[in-house]
Amino acid sequence: MSEEQKQNNQTEEQYSLNDDRRVKVLSPGALVVKRFFRNRLAVLGLIMLIVMFAFSFIGGIVTPYGQAEQFYTTTYLDKEYVGVARNDDLRYAVADGQEFGTILQAQFLLAYGKGEDSFDWKGDSYKVTEEGPDLYSISLEDGTMLAIAYKDIVNAEDGMEEPSFEVKYGALKAYVNGEDAFEADGEDYSVDEDGNISQGDTVVGYISRFVVAPKENGVTITRDFKERLEEALATDTKEFVYTDEDGQESTYTISYDASAEVWSVQQETATYVYDTYARPSLKHPLGTDNNGMDMLVRLMYGGRVSLVIGFIVVAIETVIGVILGGISGYFGKWVDNLIMRIVDIFYCIPSMPIIIILGAAMDNLRVDPQIRMLYLMLILGFLGWPGIARLVRGQILSLREQEFMTATEACGIRVSRRIFRHLIPNVIPQLIVTCTMGLGSTIITEATLSFLGLGVKFPFASWGNIISDVNNSYVMTTFWYVWIPAGICLLITVLGFNFVGDGLRDAFDPKMKR
Amino acid sequence: MRNYIVKRILFSIFILFFVTLIIYTLIRCLPTSYVETMAIQLSSKPGSKSYTEWLEQLNASYGLDRPILVGYVSWLKDFAQGNFGDSWRFTVPVIQEFKSVIGVSFVMGAISLILELVIAIPLGIVAATKQYSKSDYIISASALVGISLPTFFFATILKLVFSVKLGWFDTHGIVGRNYAQLDAMGQFLDKCSHLVLPIVTLTIVSVGSLMRYTRTNMLEVLNADYIRTARAKGLSEGKVIYRHAFRNTLIPLVTIVGGSLPGLFSGALITETLFSIPGIGFVSYQAMVAGDIPFTMFYLSFIAVLTLAGNLISDILYAVVDPRVRIA
């Protein structure tokens, strides 16, 4: 180009009389470039390609995330924590050294139901005394205390011993009758309105109507939590926050099941999971896929894979095609015949089914994804060369008869030099066009295979295997951001190659008027 | 002419021989997943023989214990006699399965070919006659878009828009849920409606190349001397284009369309698979993935035969429609 300009300058110096005499001389290459840039579609294609290359190769470097980096998120799950029931059944506490079996309990219930104050069983007579609301004591005729029946429940304070029968009896009696002190086992106790039983200054237990049962093994319910819960139940709140002893704060939701008359308390627990199919956000502009990987980064790396595979495959095709086509076209005769028959055979082999079969076989052999990618390129390249070989041969057949080839022969130039220095360069324009278009179709083939799950495999991304997520119809309908961008990238890239290829074809054509 | 055809057919048989040999060798060299899977299944049954014993027995019964060349010769013998064996995957004779699925593929292929011709030829001619105009740019660009569209992506978009969002068509299959309750007409319409999206997909992704081909040929013809002569005679532009140029454009078109006729039977592997249309493509895909050797061999040889037939037809047509071409 610079030489061109120098020549131009020289010519200008020689002839530059005035401006209208000045003739602008362009080399064939410059003419091609000029024609190419006049073609709006070709320029558009070039821009598309530059954008996609930048996206794939520079984008992968710039982005802070890795290709297979998985992201996590915390989801909140409501887990059944405890069930709370208001106790409406009579419960029994048996005095020390006495017996009050189930049969007697049943007899008592009968008497209780009828409102009688005594019942007989096996010749013995039992006396029922109503000590207060929902508190009964059962004693023998002679006044020996057998048991008490109650609805309010006496619980031991956390870490304290279970209160004795006497204490229970005394506490309940005092509590239901609204008294604030009682004496049991020769000691003084006090009961407050909340049902706290204390001996001196230490709280030994508490009285409550609610039964709190953990829904899961290994859950111990503290007094503190119970009170918090009762408070919530009393004020009819649906939700409360409680911080347990370990300082972990959780939200609890209360729901009431009217038919079973049970409150169930659900604890909201945080679980750390893969952030799958996250909606697009600032952190992940295109969301995440089903492995919790960032979609945008996967797209960039997928682009790399698709483009690199495209280039390598086309390079393999071109090398084999040019060598065989060149030999065939130059030598003719039986060499040409042999190579062209091979080309015919390859042309006839249905490539897509063969690649699918090989892909399925590699699935069976569990080939490592990286080696698999290599095989894929080799197979695609090996099946694609006949077209280029035919093109090169055809061109060379016609070029061979031209005068400049006779001249090379007359000069005694080596055969290989004649083929590769003088014939092949003349084929290059067509070759470039075919290769550019071939890049597009190779990328589509690779994407199709990856889409079918027979090409590039996880953990490597390729635009095809990103789209293959739509095989799950829920993903197809709900998570458009997972597969549509990949398809658009694919379309833009292939379209870019086709536009540029088409533009080059026109630009290389010397018959072009523009 | 007859000599030429006979020569070409003999030559095609020669190529077919090598193609099938290569395919057979390839398939035999691969791990025959089908037999292995069968052996695993059978050996896992209680009180059964061991895996290796089953494998040996199955290999023997499927003729896989023979050397490849011997196997190929016996396969070729059967193939030449029209005996294609039984499909392993579908457990029916290959030819029976083939007959039951080829119809759909052919209908799909034929309709989309007609649509392609109807769309591509007029648009290609318009683009060529108004070269570098806005309509030329639009047509050329959309042809390239059609070529660049990956089938699977386009089909998925169609499914999303027309099946999921609008609910006009089903996403999969050839018959609807209530197919059995419909009368004959209803059944026919049901099948038709299931074929709409696949045919649209097929047409759109392949119409582009035909359009470009038409345009290129028309441009070539329009630059020819006889067109200049026709214009010089003072013929109207319409007459020049539709009587003189168009007829000459038809020559390469006829050869290419003629050559693609056998291809109507080859099915559309990707499109049929995407829409689960039980045509030859989808069925073969299933067979290939399952490692069903008899069906795969049949399908691949069938495709090879179709390709050869297409080449032969287009070469013959070229000589028939263009008197300038002489066949040596």
Tens digit of pLDDT for each residue in B220-252? 888 888 888 888 888 888 888 888 888 888 888
Domain assignment of residue B282, given as a range: 98-290+309-321
Structural domain contains residue B174: yes
Q: What residues of chain B score a pLDDT lower than 70?
A: 31-33, 326-328
pLDDT at A156: 77
Task: Count how many pairs of residues, chain A against chain B, have C-beta atoms within 8 Å.
Answer: 121
Q: Which residue of A has its CA nearest to B273?
A: A452
User: Which two tokens mark A281?
Assistant: 């956000």
Kindly determine whether residue B307 and residue A345, on different chains, have CB atoms separated by under 8 Å. Answer: no
Residues B274, B187, single domain; the answer is yes
The tokens describing B24, both together, are 């057979």
- In the prediction, which pLDDT does B133 show? 84
Domain count, chain A: 2
Q: Does a structural domain hold residue B92?
A: no
| β-strand partners of A263 | A84, A256
Cβ-Cβ contacts under 8 Å, A357 against chain B: 26-27, 30, 288, 296
The string of pLDDT tens digits covering residues A337-394 is 898 888 888 888 888 888 888 888 888 777 788 888 888 899 888 888 888 898 888 8
Q: Are residues A459 and A316 in the same domain?
A: yes
Res A316: pLDDT:
93
Cα separation, B188 vs B94, whole angstroms: 26
Residue B54 resides in a domain:
yes
Residue B250 lies in a domain: yes
A469: left (phi over 0), alpha (psi -120 to 50) or beta: alpha
Same domain, B142 and B224: yes
Q: Strand ranges (DSSP E) for A49-152?
A: 72-86, 91-94, 118-121, 124-132, 135-140, 145-150
pLDDT at A131 over 50: yes
Find the Cα–Cα–Cα–Cα dihedral A299, A302, A304, A308, rounded to 10°: -150
Q: For A381-408, what is the mean pLDDT?
A: 86
- CB-based contacts of A105: which residues, under 8 Å, 6+ apart? A92
- Residues pairing with A94 in the sheet: A147
| Exposure string for B154-192, b = 16+ CB within 10 A, e = fewer | bbbbbbbebbeeeeebbbeebebeeeeeeeeeeeeebbe
DSSP 8-state code for residue B76? H
- The answer on B171 and B285 residing in a single domain is yes
Mutate to test the interface with A, among B148, B166, B171 (most CBs of A within 10 A): B148
B314 and B268 co-located in one domain: yes
Note the ipTM here. Answer: 0.85
Confidence at residue A314, expressed as pLDDT on a 0 to 100 scale: 92
Structure token pair of residue B234: 């003072």
- Do A330 and A194 lie in one domain? The reply is no
Can you read off the two tokens belonging to residue B150? Answer: 């990956």
Asked if A53 and A123 sit in the same domain, the reply is no
Using DSSP's 3-state secondary structure scheme, residue A211 falls into strand
**Residue B6 domain flag:** no
* CB A148 within 8 Å of CB A162: no
What's the CATH code of the domain at B238?
1.10.3720.10
| Residues A212, A223 contacting (CB under 8 angstroms) | no
Q: Does some domain include residue B269?
A: yes
Residue A290 falls within a domain, yes or no? Answer: yes
The answer to whether residues B181 and B37 belong to one domain is: no
Domain boundary among the residues A202, A223, A248 is at A248
Based on the domain organization, do A385 and A436 belong to the same domain?
A: yes
- Looking at the fold, whether A435 and A478 belong to one and the same domain comes out as yes
Kindly state whether residue A106 falls inside one of the protein's structural domains. Answer: yes
| Beta strands A135-140 and A145-150, pairing class | antiparallel
- Residue in B78, B85, B136, B280 with CA at minimum distance from that of residue A506: B136
For B150, list phi and psi in degrees, rounded to 5. Answer: -70, 130
Residues A387 and A445 in one domain: yes
The residue among B27, B299, B5, B311 whose CA lies nearest residue A344 is B311
Say if residues B216 and B223 touch (Cβ distance below 8 Å). Answer: no
Which chain B residue lies closest to A355 (C-alpha atoms)?
B288
In a domain, B140, yes or no: yes
Q: For residue B141, give both structure tokens.
A: 């660009």
pLDDT of residue A412: 85
Contacts of B57 (CB under 8 A, 6+ apart): B49
Q: Which residues of B26-61 are buried (b: 16+ CB within 10 A; e: fewer)?
A: bbbebebbbbbebbeebeeeeeeeeeeebbeebbee
What is the mean pLDDT of the segment spanning A385-414?
86
Residue A14 included in any domain: no
Q: Residue A474 is part of which domain span?
A: 28-71+283-508
Smallest CA–CA separation between B183 and chain A, in Å?
31
A299 and A381 assigned to the same domain: yes
Instruction: Enter the tokens of residue B270.
Output: 């990707």
- Residue A234 to chain B, least CA–CA distance (Å): 50
Q: Verify that B103 and B249 share a domain, yes or no.
A: yes
Asked if residue B258 and residue B156 are part of one domain, the reply reads yes
Mean pLDDT of chain A: 80
Predicted structure pTM score: 0.74
- Candidate from A348, A476, A494 with C-beta closest to B307: A348
Shared-domain flag, residues A59 and A137: no
Three-state SS for A405-452 is: HHHHHHHCCCHHHHHHHHHHHHHHHHHHHHHHHHHHHHHHHHHHHHHC
Q: Do A499 and A473 sit in the same domain of this protein?
A: yes
In one-letter notation, the amino acid at residue B321 is V
Q: Classify residue B176: in a domain, yes or no.
A: yes
Phi, psi dihedral angles at A141 (to 5 degrees): -50, -40
Question: How far does A484 lie from chain B, in Å, by closest CA?
Answer: 8
**Which position has the higher pLDDT, A348 or A195?**
A348
B102 and B149 co-located in one domain: yes
What percentage of chain B has pLDDT greater than the value 70? 98
pLDDT at B3: 85
Asked whether residue A361 falls in the same domain as residue A486, the answer is yes
CA-based angle B188:B192:B198, to the nearest 5?
150
Q: Is the pLDDT of residue A444 over 70?
A: yes
**What strand order describes the sheet that includes A210-214?**
A210-214, A72-86, A262-274, A249-257, A239-243
Which residues, in sequence order, are CB contacts of A149 under 8 Å at separation 6+? A90, A91, A92, A108, A112, A135, A136, A137, A138
Kindly list the distances between the CA atom of residue A118 and the CA atoms of A114, A146, A380, A401, in Å, as whole numbers in the listed order: 10, 13, 98, 131
In this prediction, residues A478-488 reach a mean pLDDT of 83
Q: Considering only alpha carbons, which residue of chain B is nearest residue A357?
A: B288
Of A54, A96, A43, which Cα lies nearest the Cα of A307? Answer: A54
Residue for token digits 């050996």?
A: B43
A146's CB contacts (< 8 A; 6+ apart) are: A94, A95, A98, A99, A100, A104, A126, A138, A139, A140
Beta bridge partners of A79: A267
- Residue A401: count of CB within 10 angstroms of its CB: 8
Q: Taking the CA atoms of B192, B198, B201 and B204 in sequence, report the sign of the dihedral they define.
A: negative
Residues A441 and A295 in one domain: yes
Same domain, B56 and B109: no
Domain presence at residue A228: yes
User: Same domain, yes or no, for B44 and B117?
Assistant: no
| Pairing state between β A153-156 and A145-150 | unpaired
**Given a cut of 80, is residue A5 above it in pLDDT?**
no
Separation of alpha carbons B197 and A126, rounded Å: 87
B225 and B136 share a domain? yes
Q: How far apart are CA B49 and CA B44, in angstroms?
A: 9
Shortest alpha-carbon distance between residue B258 and chain A (Å): 17
pLDDT in tens, B43-68: 777 777 777 777 777 777 777 777 88
- How far away is chain B from the Cα of A430, in angstroms, using its nearest Cα? 15
Query: Is pLDDT above 50 for A1?
Result: no
Q: List the one residue out of B141, B152, B165 whose CA is nearest residue B202.
A: B152
> Count of CB atoms within 10 A of residue A371's CB?
10
Please tell me if residue B68 touches chain A, with a CB cutoff of 8 Å. no
**Quick check: B30 and A357 CB within 8 A?**
yes
Neighbours of A187 (CB within 10 A): 12
**Pairing mode of beta strands A118-121, A124-132:** antiparallel
Chain A: residue nearest B306 by CA?
A348
Alpha-carbon torsion (B71, B76, B78, B79), positive or negative: positive
Assigned domain for A469 exists: yes
Among A222, A248, A274, identify where a domain stops.
A248
Q: Which pLDDT value is given to residue A315? A: 93
Torsion angle (degrees, nearest 10) of CA A478, A480, A481, A482: 80
Q: What pLDDT is recorded for position B56?
A: 78
> What is the amino acid identity at position B192?
C
The tokens for B265 are 């039977």
Determine contact, residues B253/B261, Cβ cutoff 8 Å: no
Q: How many domains does chain B have?
A: 2
How far is Cα B60 from Cα A109, in angstroms, rounded to an integer?
A: 81
In a domain? residue A275: no
Interatomic CA distance for residues B18 and A470, integer angstroms: 39
Among residues A55, A51, A72, the alpha carbon closest in space to that of A302 is found at A55
Residues of A in contact with B151 (CB under 8 A): 448
Asked if residue A205 is part of any domain, the answer here is yes
